[in-house]
Chain A
Amino acid sequence: MKATLFFFLLLSCCTFGQRILLMHGTAHIGNGTVVQSAAIGVVNDRIAFVKNSLTQTFAKEDWDTIIDCNGQHFYPGLVSANNTLGLTEIDAVRATRDFNDVGDWNPHVRSQIAFNVESKVVETVRTNGVLLVQATPRGGWISGSSAVMKLSGWNWEDATVLADDGIHLNWPSDRTAYQAQKRAIYSFFELAKAYAFAREAQPNDLRLEAMRACFRGQKRVYIHAESIQQIIDVIDFAAAFQLPFAVIVGGHDAHLVGAKLRDSKIPVMLSRTHSLPQREDEITYLPYQMPALLQQQGIAFCIQNDGDMQPMNTRNLPFQAGTTMAYGLSEEEALLAISLSVCQIMGIDKDYGTLEAGKKATFFVSKGPALDMRSNQLTTILVDGKFVSTSNFQEQLYLKYRQKYKDEAKSE
């Protein structure tokens, strides 16, 4: 631990135009493959190569920094979709809650500019390997526009990976008002679509402007839906409006309509695996098993972390994925569900999600398998080629009080 800290201090001053070589680690590429004894070369903010370090020779002088990660593991930065991290600091303190605004139709409300990259919560999340988040608003029928953010940066501009990546639509679930509420959503989308494709300029409308890109393919439509009825209606809805990128978020019953979902090519951001079954009659381990059930049916999916205390719980994302390893996914498949698959669904896989040449150097090194609580111990973190501290204020408090007890024991 101490060594890492020292290392970080040493390196943090020289991060521009740098060349970093990490050697002798097991590289979990994030696309399902593993490279043993890998070497990863980082030039500036991107990965230059991932190679077998035993079959290559590297000239020391070519590199500003060389780290021997003997026996450790390389992972792409984990990605937490659909999360209020950075938009709230303390759940119970209203003054810190910046994720739910007034109004039912808020596509124009943007999370990007409220994202607090210096949140104290952020540093505790990062140190477990989660390096990107989709900061997502809540509430209403359309909550607002989310943004994909790095968990390191000087300010929100600096931290932005993809601004306004999609709007979040909460599909109705109340049976008694269902048809009327569904109709209201169709009406809003009909209005928005007409606006989006109008040949002549329309009077500027904040809401409809925010919707325009949804029909033109630059912005995703994330539709939060759980039950079968909701899911099949969402599939019809996406088809009716020819939405280029619709995504189902939640998807509790997705495994029951697998063929239809697969044919629709709509991916699913599954609810956190660490949750209870939604129905009394459901098999107790259904949430743990869902990712495997979707994978078996060929449905594109990832795992997200919406739920109780989600900002702070983001640091458990690796273990949410890890739990699926006991219920049908391999370690690499579990990793995929919180790295490449998330990036593909959000449309940032060109730059993020795997340890492949050309991608942004956003990855971390762990002493052991990172999806198991015991061995998720980070020794190096890079975000876009820059070193980030592997410590946080919580570890500092720990060290401080540990020292206090040591000092007192000595003096007695």
Chain B
Amino acid sequence: MKAHHLIFFLATFVSVQVFAQFGPENGVKPSTPQFVLIQHATIMVKPGQTLQDADLLMQNGKIVQVGKNLKQDGAVLIDYTGKVLVPSFIDLYSSVGLDPVTFKNNGWRPQLESNKEGAYYWNEAVHPELAAAAAYKSIEHNSDQLQQSGFGFALTHHMDGIVRGSAAFVALGQTEVDKQLIAPKAAQVFSFAKGASHQTYPSSQMGSIALLRQALYDLDYYIKNKAVLPYSVSLSEWETQRNLPIVFKTDDKLEILRAQKIANEFKTNFLYVGSGNEYAIANDLKGFKIVLPLVFPEAYEVNDPYLAREIPLSELKHWELAPSNAVLLKKEGLDIALTSFGLKHSDQFWTALRKVIARGLSAADAMAALTTVPANWMGLSAQVGTLESGKWASFSVFSADPFAYEAQLLETWSLGEARYWKAANTVQLLGTYSLRIAEDNYELVVTGTTEKPQGKVILRTASDTLSTKATIQLKQQDVSIQFLSLTSSNPQLIQLHAKALKNGLVLEGDGTDAKGAWFHWSAIQQQTTAPTALIALKPDTIAYGQVWFPNMAFGTTQKATQQTILFKNATTWTNEKEGIIKGADVLVVDGKIKQVSRQQIAAPSGARVIDATGLHLTSGIIDEHSHIAISKGVNEGGQSISAEVSIGDVVNSDDIDIYRQLAGGVTAAQLLHGSANPIGGQSALIKLKWGVNPDQMLIANAPKFIKCALGENVKQANWGDFNTVRFPQTRMGVEQVFYDGFYRAKAYQKEWDAFKAGKTKVAPRVDLELEVLSEILRSKCFITCHSYIQSEINMLMHVADSMGFRINTFTHILEGYKVADKMQKHGVAGSTFSDWWAYKFEVNDAIPYNAALMTEQGVLVCINSDDAEMGRRLNQEAAKTVKYGGLSEEQAWKLVTLNPAKTLHLDDQMGSIKAGKAADLVLWTANPLSIEARVSLTMVDGVVYYEEKQQELKQAQIEQERTRILSLMLAANERGEASKTPQKKVKKHFHCDTLGEEATETENSH
């Protein structure tokens, strides 16, 4: 819509009376009307209330009255017969009027500290001092797209960083800068995205979470102690924003759940800006306020079946259901608003909004999502959102109800100031004209719509009827017509221009013929065609698919539930003193093992009975070291100590590797932070549950664990020659990082103890990092330490001994066999690989006999995976200890079940088959240590998540679902909707040494 050349301003309408004018006037005082009265309009006052043939009286930019037959002496009268007034829309996620954020590159070395000069917060991603109002520029046209979409207000802010600063609520299209900032500090905006900052910290989503929490604690501390603390520009400014609504931008549905935990911790509420996939967890979002985007994924080109195979079902399903996001959330009772963020053109906005309405969002809900809901959320309902008296006279004028018809936006009014975008065509050209040019009598047939007429020119001669297409353009009264002459054998261009008179009954004007000579012409309408009715929006009648849990391959339409199950006659590996029982019955009720018996157990009514004759039943595999199911970063490598971060904050329940591990008999895992720094982050202890949200995967009441690391990774030995800045770069330095951290933690604890005992009056600063280190010292948090060579293993045990605590676990621990006696004495468990080595220098002396030798010396030993692939056949890895070092089969089996349960302090609830423990069970087709063993069934807490015999059926369902959606996509391709070429996507994984938020395809180097 190239509307801007149509724009002109009714400067005379501008009212300045309520505003003090500070500047001098160049010329005489502007002439302004007291009152403007709009008459005979259809007024959509608010969602659900529309007045026909109504009037709207405004004064000084505000609505005085809305009703029928209004009168006002001296008012400028505007007749809006046939036009529809809609309150201006409100966009809560915008950066309109602000310069785009540029990325500063400060060199190739890692930047550990802030490069900002001045009394600002230490981290560049936290800049509450950045005020949108101060930087807001009212540049003509910068809000055209928003206005053409119907938006008259926007909440604008600097779209950068984690704590982004204050956002301003601005009126768009208003020419007087003084008036634009309706609410200069209307909200504050947060996100988990670091943005333009080049500082190394945070480098992961869990780091962003920790940083935001720490900053909020710092703000609180600053406010309470500002009298004695140095002045901080950032925190002082932030303090002024404390009571403003907080808008939180998210990039995935799970980020909403993550942010909400922070809101709960600080007893506040966030207003979320969603990413578009919230429908998939709608049930978990009840009561949330979410601004939804109208950007939907593009279709893929799917005409090549080989290429179409590369599109995962997860993407197909999201493509299908993304436009239903709003209606699916509305069905769950959520309040929703809509934003045009991410759209490139107002046409895209209307196409998307109409799609949403077609998917079933009611017109009233759609209107509310753009007007009353955002107004309410901003606390500005008294000023904006509806066309009621006392509110701003900000509205859009449409050719028809835009929520019901393909209406055109004609004008927008902002605080009583009008902007014209498009004039409605009132001339009615549709019909047949007799057209005389020179000697020839033509027939001109005009079809199409009033807005977009199409023409055909017919010449009837005695012998023949000739016809050709004519291009017609209508701009109010001006008609231009072009066609190729029909008389000449060599067609020549004929161009006509006319004024349409008598509402199109007569056309009269001039034209140029083939030779360029001007001539006069006229046409008279012989026959009138009634204009076609407005195009009404049609509800979408396609039966769309269901959300799956999770919304991807191997998801289920219903969440899986607990069953009462009786295993009959199974060879049962109890891991208890009974050992392996041949032919036991095991009963599972309410997610727990109810009974294990050598005698037959009678099946309770309704129980599923599984004949396990010839099969082996074991407790589920527990992977002590895993990096699957993690969102946006496994390492917070930005600093040497990052104890404040937690994998528990970023569990990703949509990872296909969860299902794959279940298929390998894994029922629980410790998701560990990586090994990029000496003191990493806290673990997530999870159960492998499929189709539940991340918090439901976390093991209830699990003890706290933290990852530490030693050796090549923490000294950045294999990270390239530019990574030589961060301390430590040697094993010597690593020791000192630990001492420094623990000494600081001791001092911190002492300060708090004194405060709690009433010896000091002022509460010390909350330091999330030292909190955790202090928990380690008090054995409230347990260390799992990545380690390879004996010197460093020995060192860390000495550090712990001198501080009076115990290292819980050494993981990898490939030279554990050299110091197994010392480990046994210290009481540390060893969680190792079965046979890996040769991948880096520090594993030169790794031997596959390690597990056996440590076991012989009385160390509690586990075999772990640290790898999504190996994680699903840990039974085979355990079996290798029979070959290397000659462990018994029962001993070997415990390495991946009972021993990790003990190591993780979870053996009271899992790790063996015993009445009262969780029903985390695996049924195997053979001895689980045998190369021929397959998983027949895996259950977690009594819920069957994997069953081998259903896999072919599931595969068929996946194919069926794919085909169904691909045919919809093909139809979209044929309609000419935007599309992109599929590319094969290699599943990426997080490894111990993966840095940043993106998983990689690189080899696992542990």
Contacts and interface: CB of A to CB of B under 8 A. Distances in A.
A107 interface: no
A124 B849 CA distance: 12
Interface string A276-291: 1111110111000000
Interface stretch (B255-263, B567-575, B836-844): B836-844
Nearest to B848: A394
A279 B309 contact: yes
Chain A, interface size category, equals 35 or more
A281 B869 contact: no
Contacts of B882: 373-374
Nearest to A325: B932
B171 interface: no
A401 B816 CA distance: 11
A398 B849 contact: yes
Contact of A276 (B552, B712, B844, B869): B869
A279 B955 contact: no
Interface string A213-238: 00000000000000111000000000
A351 interface: no
Interface stretch (A23-31, A56-64, A191-199, A306-314): A306-314
A92 B876 contact: no
Contacts of B410: none
B580 interface: no
B841 A397 contact: no
B857 interface: yes
Interface secondary structure of A, over-half rule: loop
Contacts of A377: 883
B542 to A, nearest CB: 23
Among A176, A311, A372, A408, chain B packs the most CB atoms within 10 A around the CB of A372
B496 to A, nearest CB: 48
Given A175-B981, A228-B306, A319-B876, A92 B663 contact: no
B546 interface: no
Contacts of A227: 306, 310, 984
A311 B838 contact: yes
B876 A402 contact: no
A405 B844 contact: no
B981 A176 contact: yes
Contact of B853 (A309, A322, A402): A402
B934 A326 contact: yes
A326 B841 contact: no
B656 A397 contact: no
A316 B931 contact: no
A91 interface: yes
B533 to A, nearest CB: 46
Nearest to B927: A374
Interface string A90-128: 111100000000000000000000000000110010000
Contacts of B954: 283
Given A316-B835, A326-B931, A398 B885 contact: yes
Contact of A312 (B314, B657, B836, B857): B836
Secondary structure at the B interface, as helix, strand, loop or mixed, is loop
B841 A315 contact: no
B520 to A, nearest CB: 57
B848 to A, nearest CB: 6
B799 interface: no
A8 interface: no
A173 B663 contact: no
Nearest to A231: B306
Nearest to B926: A326
Interface stretch (B106-114, B344-352, B817-825, B906-914): B817-825
A173 B306 CA distance: 12
Contact of A309 (B306, B838, B925, B952): B838
A134 interface: no
Contacts of A398: 817, 847, 849, 853, 884-885
Given A276-B868, A284-B660, A326 B856 contact: no
A90 B869 contact: no
B839 A91 contact: yes
A124 B845 CA distance: 12
A395 interface: yes
Nearest to B959: A281
Given A280-B314, A309-B839, A405 B856 contact: yes
Given A280-B314, A326-B925, A229 B306 contact: yes
A160 interface: no
Interface string A252-290: 000000000000000000000011111111011100000
Contacts of A229: 306-307
Contacts of B857: 405
A284 B1004 CA distance: 21
Contacts of A280: 312-314, 552-553, 656, 987
B45 interface: no
A263 to B, nearest CB: 19
A323 B838 contact: no
A91 B934 contact: no
B847 A394 contact: yes
Q: Which of B883, B954, B982, B1004 gathers the greatest number of chain A CB atoms within 10 Å?
A: B883
Interface string A165-180: 0000000011110000
A323 B931 contact: yes
Contacts of A89: 838
A228 B840 CA distance: 36
A92 B1005 contact: yes
Contact of A281 (B844, B934, B952, B962): B962
Contact of A274 (B856, B869, B955, B982): B869
Contacts of A327: 934
Given A228-B309, A278-B987, A308-B1003, A325 B931 contact: yes
B958 interface: yes
A124 B926 CA distance: 29
Interface string B851-875: 0010011000000000111101100
> Most chain-B Cβ atoms within 10 A of its Cβ — which of A175, A326, A373?
A373
B999 interface: no
A173 B984 contact: yes
B849 A93 contact: no
A394 B849 contact: yes
A376 interface: yes
A121 B660 contact: no
A174 B986 CA distance: 12
B235 interface: no
A372 B306 CA distance: 37
Interface string B297-330: 0000000001101101110000000000000000
B933 interface: yes
Contacts of B981: 175-176
A373 B878 CA distance: 9
Contacts of A279: 309-310, 312
B880 A373 contact: yes
A93 B840 contact: yes
A186 to B, nearest CB: 20
B983 interface: yes
Interface string B930-961: 11111000000000000000011011001000
Contacts of A345: none
A401 B873 contact: no
Nearest to A376: B883
A84 B888 CA distance: 34
- 3 nearest CB pairs, A to B: A398-B849, A322-B931, A92-B840
28 contacts: A90-B839, A90-B841, A90-B844, A91-B1005, A92-B839, A175-B307, A175-B981, A176-B983, A274-B870, A278-B984, A280-B313, A281-B958, A281-B962, A308-B869, A308-B1003, A309-B836, A322-B931, A323-B873, A323-B931, A326-B926, A326-B932, A372-B931, A374-B883, A376-B883, A395-B849, A398-B885, A405-B820, A405-B821
Interface of B: 306-307, 309-310, 312-314, 552-553, 656-657, 659-660, 663, 712, 718, 817-818, 820-821, 835-841, 844-849, 853, 856-857, 867-870, 872-873, 876, 879-880, 882-885, 889, 925-926, 929-934, 951-952, 954-955, 958, 962, 981-984, 986-987, 1003-1005
